[in-house]
Chain A
Amino acid sequence: MLYGYAGTTLRINLSNENIKKEPLNEKWVEEYIGGRGFVSKILYDELAPKTDPFSEENLFVIAMGPLSGCFLPASGKTHFGTKSPATGGYGDSNMGGHFGVTMKYAGYDVLIINGKAKEPSYICIDDGKIEIRSAEKYWGKGSFAVEKAMKQDLGEEFQILTIGPAGEKLVKYACISHDFGRQAGRIGIGAVLGSKNIKAIAVKGTGSIPIFDAEGLLKKGKETYDAIRKKPGFKGWTPEGTAGITNWCNDVGAIPTRNFQKSSIEYADQINGKAILDRLKITDKGCFACPIPCGKYGFAKTKLGEAFVEGPEYETIAMIGSNCELKSIEEIAYANYVCDELGVDTCSAGVVISWALECYEKGILTKEDIGREISFGDLDSILYLLNEISARRGIGDLLAEGVRIASQRLGQGSEKFAIHCKGLEWTGYESRNAPGMMLGYITADIGAHHGRCWVLGNDVAGSAEAGSVHDLISGGRKTNRLPKAKVDGVIPVVLHSQHTRPAFDILGTCRLQYMEIGLEVDYYEELFYCITGRKIKWEDIINVSEKVWNLNRCFNFREIDGFGRSYDYPPARFYEDPIPDGPNEGHLLKLEEIDLLLNQFYQARGWDRNGMPQKAKLIDLGLGNVAEEFYS
C-alpha cells in the first residue's frame, strides 16, 4: 500500500480518446517523492527528444505531492509541467487553490495528457468517470466567465481550471486559471493546453487518501496549525499578503520601473499592500487548508472598467504596475483582472508590454506598427496591448511570441532591453546590485523566475564574506544610497535557496509557512512519516531537489541546441547600463562579475565550465542512466 498517494496515474490521449489508469509508479515515489519530482522524471523519460512544444506529442502533466490534500496546513498546491513554448526547455508552474487536492480525492496523483482533441473540448473527471466533452460553448470566453459557467453547468463541487482566449491563440505566456484568481502563470503552460484544444479540466473527487497513521496525523496536523499561529511571522503576513513587500522593494532600489530603466518610484504608497486594504479589499482568500490566507479579494473601479479581482500580488504590482508605470492600485488591479480573464501571465505580460512601450518611445516601433499611440502609465495603452496580444491581432501577434523572439525579430538594438533569461521574462526584482538574486534568475531551470531562488534579502544584508552593509556600516543612520554589493559568498546562499524553495513543490505544500512564518522542517519530517509511513530527513528531500535540478539541466541540454553557459546570461542592459536612480544609483554587475559568479556556481554544483553536470555528479545523484546518455 502506497500511503499518502491516491495510487493512480491517469493517462489521456486526446487524439484517440484513449483513457488509461495505471498504478502509480513506485520507483517515481521512491526516487522523486511527488509534484515537481514526478514532473521532472516524466518529462525526461517520456517526452521524445526535440518534441515541438505545440505538437500533439508534447506532454501536459499535473502531479501532486504526498502531503497534498492531507490533514496539514496549506497542502493545496498543484504542480504542472510541460516542454515550455517560451523557452523550448523544461517548464513547470505551480498553483494554489483546490484543484489538485480534488484530483487526488478523485483518485489520481498524476494526470498525463498527450495528443490533441479534434475540436475544442474539456476534460471532465468525476471520480472514476472520465470524459472528453465538447467545449464549444466555452471556447473564446474569458477564464472567469468559463469557470463561473462551468460551475453553474456541472455543480459547485467541481473544481475547474481553464485557459483564456490567450491560451487558445497560443500566446507563449498564456496561463492557467483556477478558483477565480489563482494561476499557474509561467512558461506558457496555458498555451500548451490550448494547443491540445483543451479549454478546461473539471474535477470532482469524493474519495480519500490512505494514511499510514491517521490519528497521529490528526494530532500532528493540529499541532502544526497551532505552531504556525504562534510564530512571529503569522500576524504580519496575512493582512497585506505579498503586496506588503512593495515599499521595501522600493526602499532597497529593487522595484522594476519603466522596463527596468529605473529601480525606484515616488508613488509606492499608492500601489502597496495598504492601498489594497484601504481601497480594494473585501475579504482574505486562501488556498486549501491555509491558515495564513495571502489572497486579497476586492473590487477595483477605474475610468475604463471595474471588476472583482483577487490580487494584485507584489509581482503584478511590480510588473504591470511600476514597470509599465501604472500609478494607482485600482488601475493595476483592473489590468490584473484583464490579464486573468484573457489568460496571460502578469509577469511576462508586464515585461513584454513595457518593452513595447520603450520601443515606441525610442521610435523602434511606430504608431503604424502599433495601430495607435501608446505610452507608459496609460491604462488604456496597456489594455489595448493586452487585447491585441490575446487575439494575436496586429502588433499583438509579434508580442504574443514573448520578449525574446519579439526582440530578435524586431532587432534595432531592442534585444538589449528585452528583459528575460532563456526566453522567460524576468519578474519583480531589479538585480543589478543583488548578485545572489541575479545568479538565481540566470541559472533557474525554467528561465528568469523568482520561485526557484529568492535571496534579495541576503543581498541587501550583505553576503557572508562581505559583511552587513548599509545601516550597519553607516552606524545606524538612514542613508539613501546602498553601497555596491559584493559578489563573494553568495554561492552557498543561492544553492540553499534553489534546493529549498522547490522542495515544497515536490511535497505538494505551500512554501510560505516555512520561508515566511518559520515553521521548522521537523514538522514536515513528522507529517511525512504519519502520512506515508516512511521515515525521511529534510536532507533527503533536499537531495531529491538537487537531483531534480540536475535532471532539468540535462533536459535543457538535450532539448535546446547549443544550450549551456551562453544561456545563463542576463540581457545586456543589466551588465552595460548602471542603474540611473534611487538607492542603487550607479551600480551594475559587470560581465566579468557575472562570469565569476557562473564559474563559482558551476564548480559548486559539479558542472563543467559550460554548465553541463559532470558525469560523476550525475552518478552521485543517482542519475547514472542520464550520465550514460551524455557521456557514453
Chain B
Amino acid sequence: MRITLRLSGSIRLIYKELNEEIVLFVNEPVSIRALLQMAGINPTVVPAVYMDESKKDKDYMVTKEDSRITVLGPLAGG
C-alpha cells in the first residue's frame, strides 16, 4: 500500500532534512502514528493530521491505497 505524507512548513522547520512529500509503502493497515515514526517524525510533535479533508486522530488506521495524509506542525500563537 502506497501512502504519502505531506509535511507542513512548521514540521519541516523541526525536521529540516525531510522533504515536503514522503512516500511510504506498507503491507497492511497501519496507524498514522506508526507512519509518522516510519518517516522519522516524533508523533508527539504533531498537533494535527488531516486525511480526506478531515482531521484524524493519530491512532486512525490507514487502510486505503494511495492515501494522502497532511501532517501539521506546532506553531507559536498570535
Q: CB within 8 Å of A: which of B63-78?
A: 70-78
* Residue of B40, B47, B53 with most partner-chain A CB within 10 A: B47
Q: Which residues of B contact A476 (CB under 8 A)?
A: 33-34, 37, 43
Is A248 an interface residue when CB atoms closer than 8 A count as contact? yes
Closest to B78 in A: A313
Q: Which residues of A contact B40 (CB under 8 A)?
A: 468
Give the distance in Å from the alpha carbon of A241 to the alpha carbon of B75 in the complex. 10
Select B9's contact among A247, A248, A428, A519, beta carbons within 8 Å.
Answer: A519
Is A518 an interface residue when CB atoms closer than 8 A count as contact? yes
The reply to whether B44 and A516 contact each other, CB–CB distance below 8 Å, is no
Is B15 an interface residue when CB atoms closer than 8 A count as contact? yes
The total of Cβ contacts below 8 Å across the A-B interface reads: 125
Q: Which residues of A contact B1 (CB under 8 A)?
A: none
The reply to whether A516 and B42 contact each other, CB–CB distance below 8 Å, is no
B33 CB to nearest chain A CB (Å): 6
The reply to whether B77 and A428 contact each other, CB–CB distance below 8 Å, is yes
Q: Which residues of B contact A462 (CB under 8 A)?
A: 42
Give the distance in Å from the alpha carbon of A476 to the alpha carbon of B30 in the complex. 12
Select A457's contact among B14, B33, B48, B53, beta carbons within 8 Å.
Answer: B14
The reply to whether B48 and A314 contact each other, CB–CB distance below 8 Å, is no
B7 CB to nearest chain A CB (Å): 6
Query: How many residues of chain A are within 8 Å of chain B by beta carbon?
Result: 49
Interface size class of B (residues with CB under 8 A): 20 to 34
The reply to whether B78 and A316 contact each other, CB–CB distance below 8 Å, is yes
The reply to whether B77 and A515 contact each other, CB–CB distance below 8 Å, is no
Contact (A457, B13) CB under 8 Å given A245-B47, A471-B33, A472-B37: yes
Give the distance in Å from the alpha carbon of A208 to the alpha carbon of B10 in the complex. 34
Q: Which residues of A contact B34 (CB under 8 A)?
A: 476
Contact (A248, B77) CB under 8 Å given A231-B8, A233-B72: no
B42 CB to nearest chain A CB (Å): 4
The reply to whether B13 and A314 contact each other, CB–CB distance below 8 Å, is no
Select B6's contact among A232, A241, A249, A512, beta carbons within 8 Å.
Answer: A232
Closest to A473 in B: B42
Contact (A471, B74) CB under 8 Å given A232-B6, A461-B14, A476-B37: no
Q: Which residues of B contact A248 (CB under 8 A)?
A: 47-48, 74
Q: What are 7 A-B residue pairs whose CB atoms fall within 8 Å in the complex?
A: A231-B9, A236-B70, A242-B76, A460-B42, A468-B40, A515-B9, A519-B9
